[in-house]
Each structure stands twice: as structure tokens, then as C-alpha cells.
């Protein structure tokens, strides 16, 4: 598991302060609106919407907010002015960073993203400058229980169509598959009795950069955290490895 995946998992288990909760609710609602607009309001026939709803519920978004977002996405003209974009650049330590955004004003969003890169010792590059280092994969995160058995999970995961798994985390296991198989793998593991924490497509780096100083780690995590808290940013991916203690210290 890459350092950024570990960072995302650690953050998931930390309490969200009120200000960041408001930003997160807005992001979740926007993703639900977009998913509804593109694929319809029935989550049983719209996997992207089902993913968005599951993630929103896991983050504590109220059901009323979720329903309002679905209704808004079903309305005529919903998000007609929005577009999905990916910005690329290098962060502190030469770490490659991908920033997925949904925006109605690309000039505003590009300016803000560029500002964060510069503020924390990186620089935003042209399209394609780091994208070639990443490959889209499906990731299904499962909770481990007292009866967890790695061999049993491997068998269930392969039967469901998965390609690999990572059981190095203490309380969760990560199952990896092709993006096209994500829904099938998620449903197969759920039917096999595993509790699915999340299922989403992610950009996985082919190589990683080892962060070897606490100061570089602090700057990089500040960059990622600032980007993730921007209203227009839906996801951030980066190709780093670092001491998990530095991640914990940053969040404390």
C-alpha cells in the first residue's frame, strides 16, 4: 500500500472538525449530484451513485443531505456548467501529485491549485507531466474482525475477480482489482460476509518517493491536506512513502 493510501486510511479514522466537516459534506453532495446527473437516481443501476452514497454515509453525511443531492442531480440543468478536471504537479521532495476537481470555473480552480503547490514548496505542471506514473485501479477496503484469515480472504477475493490484496494494516485489508471489476468485487466480498468500508477507483503510482525528513513530510502533508479541503477538489493522489509516525503527528 502506498504512503498516500495509508495517509487516507489514517485520516478516515480521525475525528473531523466542524469546519472541515462542512467542506466534506459539500464534496459528498456534489459527487452525488454528478453521479445522479450522469447515471440516473437509482443506485442499484448506477454504481457511481451507490459508491457516492456509501462514502457519504460512512463520513456521517445526514440522509436528508443525501436525498436533496439526488433530487438536485435529477433536476433539469443540474450542474450543466460543471466539468471534471485533473491537475498535475510535483510536491515537496519531488513527489508526483494528481488533483481531481469538479468545477464551474476552471480559471479559479487552477489558480487556487497552483497557489497551494507554490505555497508548500512544489509546482503545478502541464497536463501529463506526472499522470503517466499512475494507473487507475479499483480498491475495496474491508474491516478485519477477530476471525480474520488472510488465506480465506485471498480465495474470496480471487473468486470475486480481484487481482491482489494488502493485509498489512492492523484493522483493515485492501483488495485491489481492475476499475471495471470494482462493483463485482465489492458485491462478491459483501456476499462472502466481509464488511466493506469503502469501494472506489483510485490512481495507484507505479513507483514511489521515500520522504526522509520530518520537514519535507510536514510540507507535503500540508499541501495534500490543503488541496483536499478545497471545495472544488474531489480527490488527491500522490506517490510517496513516509514514516507513519509523521502522519500521526501531523493530524494530532
Element containing residue 203 per DSSP (H, E): strand 196-205
Q: What is the CATH number of domain 134-205?
A: 3.30.70.980
What would the grid cell of residue 164 be? 491482489
When pLDDT is averaged across residues 85-95 and rounded to a whole number, the result is 97
Q: What are phi and psi of 114, to 5 degrees?
A: -60, -40
pLDDT category at 147 given cuts 50, 70, 90 is confident
The pLDDT tens digits of the residues spanning 106-126 come to 999 999 999 999 999 999 999
- Judged against a pLDDT cut of 80, whether residue 81 lies above it is answered with no
DSSP states of 220-232? HHHHHHHHHTSTT
Please determine, for residue 76, whether its predicted confidence score (pLDDT) is greater than 90: no
Residue 143 DSSP SS3: strand
Task: Give the whole-angstrom CA distance, residue 247 versus residue 195.
Answer: 26
Q: Domain boundaries in the chain?
A: 15-74, 83-132+207-251, 134-205
Domains 15-74 and 83-132+207-251 share a fold: no
| pLDDT tens column, 150-207 | 999 999 999 999 999 999 888 899 999 999 999 999 999 999 999 998 898 999 999 9
Segment 44-72, tens digit of pLDDT: 999 999 989 988 888 889 999 999 999 88
The third-level CATH classification (topology) of the domain covering 83-132+207-251 is Alpha-Beta Plaits (3.30.70)
Which alpha helices (H) appear in the chain, and where do they start and end? 3-12, 18-39, 47-58, 63-74, 106-119, 150-160, 182-191, 214-228, 244-251
- Mean per-residue pLDDT over the chain, rounded: 88
Q: Is residue 12 pLDDT above 80, yes or no?
A: no
What pLDDT, on a 0 to 100 scale, did the predictor assign at position 243?
Answer: 87
Fold of 15-74: Arc Repressor Mutant, subunit A (1.10.10)
pTM, two decimals, is 0.82
Any idea what DSSP says for residue 76?
Answer: T
Amino acid at each position: 500500500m502506498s504512503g498516500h493510501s495509508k495517509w487516507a486510511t489514517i485520516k478516515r479514522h480521525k475525528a473531523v472538525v466542524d469546519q472541515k466537516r462542512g467542506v466534506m459534506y459539500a464534496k459528498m453532495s456534489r459527487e452525488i449530484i454528478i453521479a445522479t446527473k450522469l447515471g440516473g437516481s437509482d443506485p442499484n443501476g448506477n454504481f457511481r451513485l451507490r459508491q457516492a452514497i456509501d462514502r457519504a454515509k460512512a463520513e456521517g453525511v445526514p440522509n436528508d443531505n443525501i436525498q436533496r443531492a439526488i433530487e438536485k442531480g435529477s433536476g433539469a440543468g443540474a450542474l450543466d456548467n460543471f466539468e471534471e478536471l485533473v491537475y498535475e504537479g510535483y510536491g515537496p521532495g519531488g513527489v508526483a501529485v494528481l488533483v481531481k476537481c469538479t468545477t464551474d470555473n476552471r480559471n479559479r480552480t487552477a489558480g487556487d491549485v497552483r497557489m497551494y503547490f507554490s505555497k508548500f514548496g512544489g509546482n503545478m505542471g502541464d497536463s501529463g507531466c506526472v499522470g503517466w506514473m499512475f494507473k487507475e485501479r479499483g480498491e475495496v477496503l474491508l474491516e478485519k474482525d477477530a476471525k480474520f484469515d488472510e488465506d480465506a480472504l485471498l480465495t474470496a477475493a480471487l473468486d470475486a475477480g480481484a487481482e491482489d490484496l494488502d493485509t498489512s494494516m492492523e484493522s483493515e485489508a485492501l483488495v485491489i482489482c481492475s476499475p471495471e471489476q470494482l462493483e463485482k468485487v465489492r458485491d462478491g466480498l459483501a456476499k462472502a460476509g466481509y464488511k466493506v468500508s469503502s469501494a472506489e477507483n483510485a490512481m495507484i503510482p507505479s513507483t514511489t518517493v521515500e520522504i526522509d525528513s520530518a520537514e519535507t513530510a510536514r510540507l507535503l502533508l500540508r499541501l495534500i491536506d490543503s488541496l483536499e479541503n478545497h471545495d472544488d477538489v474531489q480527490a488527491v493522489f500522490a506517490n510517496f512513502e513516509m514514516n507513519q509516525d509523521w502522519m500521526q503527528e501531523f493530524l494530532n
